[in-house]
Amino acid sequence: MNLEPAQSLADLSQAGQVVDVFAILRRIEKREAKNGQPFWNLTLADQETSVEGRIWSSDKQAATAITDLATGNAVKIRGKVDSYKEKLQLIVQRIRAVEEDEAGYEASTLYGDSPEWLVDLTCRSLVFDIETVPDSELRDMPPTIVKTLSEHCERNERDQGLVMGLSPFFGKTVSLAFGEGEADPEEQEVTVLVVPPDNWQADDIPGWIRPVSEAELLSSFWALSARAELVITYNGRGFDLPFLVARSLILGVPARVDLLSDRWGLRPHLDLFEILSQRGRGPSNLDVVCWALDIQSPKGEMDGSMVAPAYERGDLDQIATYNREDVRATTAVYHRVRDSILKYRKDWARG
C-alpha cells in the first residue's frame, strides 16, 4: 500500500490517496445500508477545514473502534480518499484515539492555539451562556444606519438600548460562563470569562472570573467547543450562537465548529429550548422552566435588562455571578431532560 502522509485534512487532494491523518470527530451518525449492514457517516475536522468520512462494516477495525469513540475526540485515521457527488470524502479503514505523546501530533493543528489554563478547563459536555451589552454610539453611526435602527425599534415597539444589546452588529459579548454539564449542578465549577470596560480597575476578583478581551473570549469558546463531545444551551440556537458567530466574523476570529446547521439534531449541539419550547402556546424561557421543574432560577435580583447598567458601573462580579447561575440552572434542566426524555430517544444514544 502506497501511504501518503497528510499534514492536515486540507492536504486531501485527489481520489485514490491513502493517508494517515489526525482529526477531530465532529459528527458520528450510524446508518443502515440497503443490505442491512451498518455504516457510519462522520464529519472530520481540524483548525483549517472539515471533510466527510465514512466507515463501512467491512472495515472491521474501524467499525469496531468507532463504537468506543465520541464527538470531540482527537483521532488518528488511516483512510482512502474518495469522491462522492464531486466532493472529496475519506473512507476510514482504521481509526483510534490519539495517544499521549503521539509522534507527529500537535494539538494546535486540530484545536488551534489555546492558553494552558483553558486546556485544563476542557469539558466533555460543555454548558455555556453569554451576556451582551450595547457597544455603539448613535453619534458615531452613519445617518442611514441610525434611521434603520430607529425604524426597527419603532416598528417592533422595542427599547433602542435593548435592541442594540441583543444585536451583534451594535453590541458585544461581555461575559461567557461555562462548566461541565455532567457535574452535579449544586457542586458544578463554573468559569466566567469577562470583558472589562475601558479604564476598569480590577479589585479582588474570585479565581473563577477571568478578564479577557472579546476576541480572546470568542477564540476560547471555539477552542472549548472543538474539544467537547456535546455543547448544551438554553435557546443557544436562537440567540447565543448566532451572536457569537457574528461577533467572530466582525473580530476576525474563526468560528471553527458548526453548532447551528442541524436544527433538530441533538449532537453536537443540544438546545434544551428546542425540546421544551411550547411553540408560541405559552412562555417557555429558562425562568418558567425552572419554576415548573422546581429548580432554583437565576432570575432573582438580576435579569438580562440589568446587565448593561451593571456593565457601565463596572460591576463585573454581579454580571459574572448572574451568568454563572444561568449555567448552573441550564445544567440542572439538562440533567432532568437527559434522564427522563433523552434516554428514550433513538437519536440520543451514541451509534
In percent, how much of the chain has pLDDT > 90? Answer: 60
1 pLDDT exceeds 60?
no
The span from the CA of 308 to the CA of 349, in Å, is: 41
Burial label for 157, CB within 10 Å (0-12, 13-18, 19+), is exposed
- Range scoring the smallest mean pLDDT among 101-110, 167-176, 219-228: 101-110
The span from the CA of 276 to the CA of 269, in Å, is: 15
Pairwise pLDDT comparison (28 vs 236), residue with the higher score: 236
Distances from the Cα of 202 to the Cα of 208, 216, 292, 308, 313, angstroms:
14, 18, 39, 19, 13
CA torsion through residues 269, 73, 246, 161, sign: positive
| CATH number for domain 116-135+170-344, candidates 3.30.420.10, 3.40.50.2000, 3.30.590.10, 3.40.920.10 | 3.30.420.10
232 pLDDT exceeds 90?
yes
Place of cell 466533555: 124
The span from the CA of 230 to the CA of 277, in Å, is: 20
Question: What pLDDT sits at residue 265?
Answer: 86
219 falls in which pLDDT band (50, 70, 90)? very high
Domain range list for the chain: 9-111, 116-135+170-344
256 pLDDT exceeds 70?
yes
The span from the CA of 151 to the CA of 172, in Å, is: 22
86 pLDDT exceeds 90?
no
- Which grid cell is 137? 454610539
Q: Which of 11-20, 81-90, 218-227 has the highest mean pLDDT?
A: 218-227
Reference 10, options 48, 54, 52; nearest CA is 48
177 pLDDT exceeds 60?
yes
* Average confidence score pLDDT of the chain: 90
pLDDT digits over 39-49, tens only?
999 999 888 88
- Write the DSSP symbol of residue 47: S
The span from the CA of 333 to the CA of 348, in Å, is: 16
Pairwise pLDDT comparison (296 vs 331), residue with the higher score: 331
Question: What pLDDT sits at residue 351?
Answer: 46
Reference 39, options 47, 49, 28, 50; nearest CA is 28
Element (H, E) at 107: helix 107-111
192 falls in which pLDDT band (50, 70, 90)? very high
In percent, how much of the chain has pLDDT > 70? Answer: 97
Planar angle of CA 286, 292, 293, nearest 5 degrees: 90
Distances from the Cα of 286 to the Cα of 91, 129, 192, 232, 233, angstroms:
42, 12, 19, 13, 10
Pairwise pLDDT comparison (138 vs 189), residue with the higher score: 189
pLDDT digits over 117-160, tens only?
888 899 999 999 999 999 988 888 999 999 999 999 999 988 98
Q: How many CB atoms lie within 10 A of CB 93?
A: 18
Question: What pLDDT sits at residue 253?
Answer: 94
Burial label for 348, CB within 10 Å (0-12, 13-18, 19+), is middle
Q: What is the pTM of this model?
A: 0.86
Across 66-86, b (16+ Cβ under 10 Å) vs e yields: beebbbbbbbbbbbbbbeeee
55 neighbors 92 (Cβ within 8 angstroms): yes
| CATH number for domain 9-111, candidates 3.30.420.10, 2.40.50.140, 2.120.10.30, 3.30.1330.60 | 2.40.50.140
64 pLDDT exceeds 90?
yes
The span from the CA of 232 to the CA of 217, in Å, is: 18
